[in-house]
Structure 1
């Protein structure tokens, strides 16, 4: 089968110079995918025990962002925990009190009244001394009285709490528990969903592959995704069954033929779609249900977009970007997602083998090029996206005239040029047109006149009339285009068909893309290209036909990328089943009027350690306040009135070194910030971050203090 349209991701428009045309809709009878030319990378296993253990591990429902793999839910509220020293001292004192009471009863110091119930219940024949019945009844009565005393002092001394905290129940919690395999109808390794639908042969083949150690987590996720296509009617049951019977665990392969990534550095669970980033700290500021639990993200959270802010060295790339990029690449191999990762060359965004397309802008050895116009044929759409990339950072936060004028200027040139030459202008050609060079404009005019395109001639006339006017933005656009008209980029952004340009119109397929920006020596050009890719991404995902495929753009270092149009585009991504991951060293890298809208547009916000107080103030405002209970304790010195009281107080002061006091506790409800600017700037330990979450369904999680070191392995 065509694996949800994934077979020709490398041959779609934008990945090749001569794209293969695709039908408007999915074929009625999808073809079974051929086997890859080379053997896929599947680590050998002696048996399927590792995979089966992973698949059968419980994944209970949990609060938002909790790592569900093997999670043990906690109570909703923190139980009152008595300190260990106080617990044991109370238990010892209770035992001594019980022993004292029993000694007094046994030795008769309290009289024999406590024997009255025994005497009342025994017959007169047992009244003779040393009779067998009397001895047995007496000692049995002693045992009952001792048990009553023991139960009483045990409750008083909290012996049960000691047993639960330090006895065998605590030992069993730390010891590994061997669980019996589930019943076949409940065993996910037996594919009960396929059996219920009548695909028994396919279920038997997959179960045998799993037991033999030939199936991996990506295989399970990929085949599950293909089965969802059958369930939704995109593919036929016969085609799916045939593919599984032919290829087993290798059925419905990704177009690359890969079944796993070359390496994994983070912990992934493809059943829930989560990647573990760390562990929620056992801190009083975290809700009790989250403390000590793993913290994980998935498409359900990334669909609201993520913004991570922290200084250099805080762990944005290694602890956040790299695990998320790795997880999205695994989702792409499973046919669930399309991912584009942007960063400076050598920034550690994963090996090239983990991606289908690697665009190394400025590197002559790059196999792929970047389509400057986003793969569109519409001059107006191309002009809008290109204007955002060139001068989006100069636009007013409100939709102003500068952005519209830039789009108009570009459209006045791109439309006539494409009508004449059948393509958009290259970077040098566009620069000459924006500069108003007489030769290119005259040649363009003559070609329009020869073809009789009067409407486009009027566009060109309007452009020539505006040349040199004080309000003309063409000069600014030409200066920005000049940043790309450099020797380092001579072989890039070609529009003549001589290169293999990649465009983001390929995001309707599970493609893995990495774009390396030439940050060194070309910082302004890199920021402009990042704005271009972001603008193309927000424009492309909004018009996808199949929105069941999650699309995500991961941008490492979004400095200079936050523009008014970018913020508006991020706000629209949630409805398109897409999201972005942005990192900033400081919110100062975004214009001041856009900081609030940016924090509001992203549903997941992360403040890493080392944040500045003014950045912390913005996070504190967006996270708001909450009602909390405060306890005010007041110690008042006790004044003795009598000579005996004064003597006791003096003796107590000599022994303790403190004057006798009476403590008064006042409890009240106050409204305080969840995290203040000072706490975010100075109270977040190194390697930690404060993270708030929002799901695509609108569920919220409060700001959580998370330990990001080691992703919680």
Structure 2
């Protein structure tokens, strides 16, 4: 059994899942993080056709445009810096605070009334109805020599004075009537905003495309080749991201400039390919921007509960946010898989094709997490047609490490698997068997063999003892002696572990979890490479086994990403339906992922699927939390507590009836009552600062419309976004 998870095929299936191809055409190695950087290509299987598919001239399913205008427009679209979660592609920042919005009718009528008032004042002054006092400063400015009739100097001064007075009146009434707002809303600035953007290509020094840094670094020939193919429509966003990743390897010193230039001159936009040879995903469903790494999930609602800067903007996620992990909670049919998991899985697969990420997607068979063509490895547990198997021990050769991960999978969900027992004791029991077995056989036991050893069957234990004696493994004999002594103890955990292993020792899994080297097991140690993996769990009729396997994958993921050699690759685990998967060790593992450039995406139908003692630690360990529509008030209470409270302005309005004291006042009040039907009142407004929940449990349960969700975000750099109401359908 090899250690990198890319072993030879189990068999004889005529249509295997596309496996990693041979080394790319780049003598110094592929972009940083590719499989061939760390391991040689697996030996060819003569019973199957060559694994390396021909490289397509363009992205499959995306015919090129003759002039490449779509790609060039995409790459040159501005992407300004924005708050966490804002879709940056073509984003136009809004003010941090909401401006005062005046109704158009009120604005126009106020401006007209102000103009009429200004005209009235000027008429009164001009016609002398207000006296001549306003001319006194003029008389003081005119010298006596200009006092003659028709003096040219006097005429100039008089008209200049009149103009100054008129401008002063105009400025005053303009401010009063908000003429500047009229101009901004209906004048030339509004026409400029509505006019189409200038589509002329930018100057070469301002073009954000990747070939300009190449040209500046002296790789002019490679830059010209890429620019030509981009204008011909032969380059796509994945090609741009993949070659940019390789160029970053040149700048960091991993590859030489000459090697990179040679690869680009030879293959153009197909240079430095993913090991699979694929340059795109078939049938994309979501909107992606591989320059920023974001995938758009929806639109932030124009709601008063959202900050003004977020209202109406696109909502997008990327590795900078997924690095703090994401938890989505909502009932069946609320959109967890279709609106959240599927776009994120698609985005991470695109990142893998660009050499930026490694992704493992786990879900039930047919859950809708993408077609098999979108993945390099598809593990269909329980399906005899599956080309790949799952390594039960995570590819490790250390018995203690294998025992810890396997114990987490088997009994991690049991807070107390036996009176006085815990997961550490379960790890000890497994290590007492795995160590001696590996020393004798050079491999770990298969599922049936492990079950027999845990049951304490005398035959397998006797054979294992004889093997240790023949090899002189005295220290391991003591481990086996301790295991045999514990078998007779009433509190022994071997029976509990054997019962859990029995869930995997079923006829449906007879061909899986093989350790003899006859299968093609996939190991999560392959996350050093930009691999795309999908694992289908056999939920129908094997719900308990599926939860064990899901815990196993999560435990192996958190254990392996922390010891990767290349942490520049973002590693992601997408777990569709994490029911029964959250354990104390899983929460601790998720907390450590941020520093390892990794993250998880978990979905739950309800927080009741998580033990009560772990709900608050889980919500605290996760940086991005999503509550979808249809949440129960009990689940809403947990989200309301973790989102906390904020200071807000509360207005109390009181209407008090006015009592008239004089006969005239009483007559006026009576007339007003007859006309309006209401008694005269005086309104008193009290403004207070109060602390209220950002989203209450009742609002989360009853005020989130269908197809919407409330989402809070935290980036790996520590930036926060408050809970936002998001339309996942937009």
Match of 2:711 in 1: 691
* Unaligned stretches of 5+ residues in structure 1: 1-10, 21-26
Deviates more, 1:515-524 or 1:157-166: 157-166
2:387 maps to 1:367: yes
Q: Which residue of 2 aligns with 1:287?
A: 307
User: Among 272, 275, 281, which residue is 1:261 paired with?
Assistant: 281
Where do 1:297-316 residues align within 5 Å? 297-316=317-336
Task: For 1:116 and 1:646, locate their aligned partners in 2 and report how far apart those are by CA, in whole Å.
Answer: 50
1:621 aligns to 2:641 (yes or no): yes
How far does residue 434 in structure 1 lie from its aligned partner after superposition?
Answer: 1.3
Contact 1:40 1:259 in 2 (8 A): no
Name the CA distance, whole Å, in 2 between partners of 1:140 and 1:453: 111
Deviations 1:375-401 (A, max 9, x none): 11111111111111111100359x984
Q: Note closer, same or farther for the CA distance 1:686–1:175 as it changes in structure 2 (3 Å cut).
A: farther
Question: What residue in structure 2 maps to residue 30 of structure 1?
Answer: 29
RMSD: 2.9
| Cα displacement string for residues 452-478 of structure 1 (whole angstroms, at most 9, x for unaligned residues) | 222222212221222242111111111
Q: Which residue of 2 aligns with 1:707?
A: 727
| Structure 1 residue 316: Cα displacement | 0.8
Q: 2:82 is matched with which residue: 62, 72, 89?
A: 62
Secondary structure of the 2:310 match is coil
Conservation of the 8 A alpha-carbon contact between 2:363 and 2:577:
yes
Q: In the alignment, what sits opposite 1:455?
A: 475
Q: Deviations over 1:633-669 (max 9, x none)?
A: 2222222222222222223333333333323222222
Structure 1 partner of 2:49: none
- In structure 2, the partner of 1:39 is 56
Other structure's SS at 1:537 match: helix
Matches within 5 A, 1:627-638: 627-638=647-658
Shift of residue 39, structure 1, vs aligned partner? 2.0
Contact 2:381/2:389 (8 A) holds in 1: yes
Residue in structure 2 matched with residue 596 of structure 1 by the alignment: 616
TM-score when scaled to structure 1? Answer: 0.91
**Residues 82 and 88, structure 2, Cα contact 8 Å, conserved in 1:** yes
| Alpha-carbon shift at residue 95 of structure 1 (Å) | 3.8
Query: Is the 1:41–1:262 Cα contact (8 Å) retained in structure 2?
Result: no
Alignment of 1:66-105 (within 5 A): 66-101=86-121
Query: 1:359 aligns to what SS in structure 2?
Result: strand
* CA 261–31 in structure 1, closer or farther in 2 if over 3 Å, else same: closer
Match in the other structure for 1:577: 597
Larger displacement relative to structure 2 (422-431 or 650-659): 650-659
Match of 2:5 in 1: 14
Aligned positions, number: 690
- For 1:468 and 1:476, how far apart are their aligned partners in 2? 14
Structure 1 residue 528 displacement after superposition: 0.8
Matched, 1:428 2:419: no
Q: Deviations over 1:665-694 (max 9, x none)?
A: 222222221111111111212211111111
Shift of 1:707: 1.3
CA distance in 1, matches of 2:57, 2:280: 8
Q: 1:484 pairs with 504, 524, 527, which one?
A: 504
**What is the TM-score normalised by the length of structure 2?**
0.89
* Equivalent runs, 1:276-355 vs 2, <5 Å: 276-355=296-375
CA distance in 2, matches of 1:641, 1:99: 42
Give structure 2 stretches of 5+ with no counterpart. Answer: 11-18, 20-25, 42-51
Identify which of 175, 178, 195 aligns with 1:175.
Answer: 195
**Structure 2: distance between partners of 1:133 and 1:465:** 121
1:185 alignment counterpart = 205
- 1:400/1:384 Cα in 2 relative to 1: closer, same or farther (>3 Å)? farther
User: Quick check: 474-483 or 590-599, which moved more?
Assistant: 474-483
CA contact (8 A) 1:504 1:537 kept: yes
Distance 1:56 1:533 in 2: 40
Aligned with 1:536 (options 533, 556, 572): 556
Offset, 1:441: 1.7
**Superimposed CA distance per residue, residues 496-541 of structure 1 (whole angstroms, 9 cap, x where no aligned partner):** 1111110100000000000111111111111111000000000110
Q: Choose from 629, 642, 650 the match for 2:670.
A: 650
Q: Counterparts of 1:89 and 1:211 in 2: how far apart (Å)? A: 53
**What is the distance in 1 between the residues matched to 2:3 and 2:472?**
34
